[in-house]
Amino acid sequence: MRLYDYAASGNCFKVRLLLGMLDLDCERVPIDIFAGDTLTCEFAMLNPVRETPVLELDSGERITQSNAILWYLAEGTAWLPDTPLGRAQVAQWLSFEQERVMGGLGGPRFRLLTGRATAEEVEPRLATGREALAILGDQLMARDWVVGAAPSIADLSLFAYVSVAPVEVPGAVAAWLDRVRALPGFLDDFVPYPDNARPGAGSSIY
């Protein structure tokens, strides 16, 4: 397998987390989003949406969208529940992550760190992020993991951008973050945005 990957992307980080925890052999192909790597014709053949991550299978088939990749990799493992209800609940939280966590925490963090917006400008989005953290905190108040009695890809998906939230997280969420970090195979290689991610410093779709 081959992972086309941007080190400063939370969506890529979550895939690297699962690959490491499953101890899967996967070639990592660095993609510099802000150096124009996704703007090439070659990358458009990998993903016409020009986003990372992209997982290329040994067969040549490709999977895009981070949560779809997580689901594919988790099939047949303990990271994906084997009951219809458990799988539906994982899907529910994967959607929540993209709609509420990505939009309310990941997006504002990107804009703040790269100088694309002020704190005042991202406040409406951060309000969504705080609400998402409150909902997640309620879910974790009396349980260790988001779905069921064991960690799943729902936890890894949520972990990526919650772990670097630009706002304070509830106590139950902070304790859950520590539990994820203590899992066997955990490796934190989520890096800050480089200088070329700032406005006018590079070329990208953003």
- What confidence tens digit (pLDDT) does each residue in 98-109 have? 999 999 999 999
- Mean pLDDT for 69-78 is 98
Domain residue ranges of the chain, discontinuous segments joined by +: 2-77+189-197, 84-181
Average pLDDT in the chain: 97
**Other Cβ atoms within 10 Å of 206 Cβ, number:** 14
Question: For residue range 113-145, what is the model confidence (pLDDT) as tens digits?
Answer: 999 999 999 999 999 999 999 999 999 999 999
Model confidence band, residue 82 (pLDDT cutoffs 50, 70, 90): very high
pLDDT confidence tier of residue 201, bands split at 50, 70 and 90: confident
Give the mean model confidence (pLDDT) for residues 150-176: 98
**Has residue 49 got a pLDDT over 90?**
yes
Which CATH number is associated with domain 2-77+189-197?
Answer: 3.40.30.10
Identify the CA nearest to 5 among candidates 40, 41, 42, 43: 43
- Secondary structure (DSSP) of 125-191: HHHHHHHHHHHHHHHTTT-SSSSTTS--HHHHHHHHHHTT-SSPPPHHHHHHHHHHHTSTT-----P
pLDDT for 58 beyond 90: yes
Rounded mean pLDDT of 22-45? 96
Cα separation, 3 vs 46, whole angstroms: 11
How far apart, in Å, are the Cα atoms of 100 and each of 27, 74, 92, 133, 162? 31, 23, 12, 9, 11
Q: Identify the pLDDT of residue 134.
A: 98
Given a cut of 90, is residue 43 above it in pLDDT? yes
- pTM (2 decimals)? 0.96
- Region 84-181: CATH code: 1.20.1050.10
Per-residue confidence (pLDDT) for residue 206, from 0 to 100:
87
Q: What is the mean pLDDT of residues 10-38?
A: 97
Q: Is pLDDT above 90 for 16?
A: yes
